[in-house]
Homo-oligomer: A and B are copies of this chain.
Amino acid sequence: MQTSIACCEGGVTAAKGFMAGGSACGIKKKGALDLALIFAEAPAVAAGVFTKNRIKGHSLKLTQSRIGGGGIKAVAINSGNANACLGPQGDRDASGMAEIAALALGVRPEEVLVASTGVIGQRLDLALIDAGMANALAALGKDGTVAAKAIMTTDTFAKEAAVTCELPSGRTVRIGGMAKGSGMIHPNMATLLGFLTTDASVAPDALQQALYLATEVSFNAVSVDGDTSPCDSVILLANGMAGGPVISLDSPDFNLFLEALTRVTQTLAKMIALDGEGATKLIAISVRGADSADTARRIGRAVAVSPLVKTAFYGADANWGRILSAIGNAGAAFDPDTVAIKLGGALVCQNGCAVAFAEEETRRILESKEIAVQIELGSGPGEAMVWTCDLSPEYVRINGSYRS
């Protein structure tokens, strides 16, 4: 079945019947793009996965209340301001942003979803959004890149991915998306925003389930710094414009649709890890041989979040003792005496002990842009993949003065 999924050009507008645009409305300094708009030509079914942080942003809460059914026509997103921790005013501003977008697009406010990312605790300036909406509307079209740029905060590149997929029922559907990182990135969402669209026709519960499963092994398997934010949201819109019968949870098309969606979310998730604040390397951690997938995931996350592991990767230092120590720190059950660790394919630890390895060759491996860390626990069938990045002095520089 693998062969019937193919990567294609584009992002959030790759699917039929979706347009996007963006503008610089002035929330960010220096005229950077900060307002994005997604428009669905036909009303879309919407699914969403949201932060597990107990502090939730006002824009997120409004979107959460509008998700789960059909009839969604647009998403308005601002960067530079999180619209979080502002009390009832924040809720009013979230509704206000939806109203501004609705008025511009000629749809009803409740057909609009909103998202915000940026500094916490500063009031969102709706006058700026109002003034910038006309330009975002004028930019609306099949090029999704302006929108992908407008949702960025400290990201250094726009993140877009798309696939086409021929389903068992014979229809060809497209799934595309855009995402932003790049600090506060951790399993269970972080300042992560992801917007996905498809022209497949999908039932609300099937769409929600597919998004949940695809997110678990992609956006929720990425860690940049262990922090999560009040604004993290991944939204998936399905407008059905590819035609054909509705994909339900038990329809034969569901599994391939999920696989195609996962291809898009994993591609975006890896881009987020690679573009982690100050990151110079992508670290792909595979954990195998755990007693369960949950244990494997917990161990992978403990390694991904360890500052000592991440600084060692920054320094191209084959300090596998830190990896082993982070595994031991995961609060998960495993046998220390059966652990093996490979860095870029080179065995550095076996049976929980040091193994003689070629330091120079390993250093060369660790100087590459993408490093595979393989952890074999030797005690069961559980496995998981987790992506992270190294920790560089640049991370500190970026975050020491984020508000300034």
Contact = CB atoms under 8 A, between A and B. Distances in A.
A184 B307 CA distance: 9
Contacts of A393: 393, 396-397
Interface in A60-78: none
Given A54-B334, A120-B322, A400 B351 contact: no
Interface residues of A, number: 63
Contacts of A401: 315, 317
A121 B334 CA distance: 19
Interface stretch (A30-38, A80-88, A108-116): A80-88
- For the complex, would chain A's binding face be called helix, strand, loop or mixed by DSSP majority? loop
B404 A354 contact: no
A284 to B, nearest CB: 20
A317 B228 contact: no
State the number of copies, please: 2
A184 B325 contact: yes
Contact of A325 (B227, B306, B396, B398): B227
Contact of A225 (B186, B308, B317, B321): B308
A321 B83 CA distance: 11
Contact of A86 (B229, B315, B354, B404): B354
Given A85-B324, A306-B227, A55 B396 contact: no
Contact of A349 (B121, B315, B317): B121
Contacts of A307: 225-227, 307, 395, 399
Interface of A: 53-56, 82, 84-87, 119-123, 183-184, 186, 225-230, 305-308, 311-312, 314-315, 317-322, 324-329, 334, 336, 349, 351-354, 391-393, 395-404
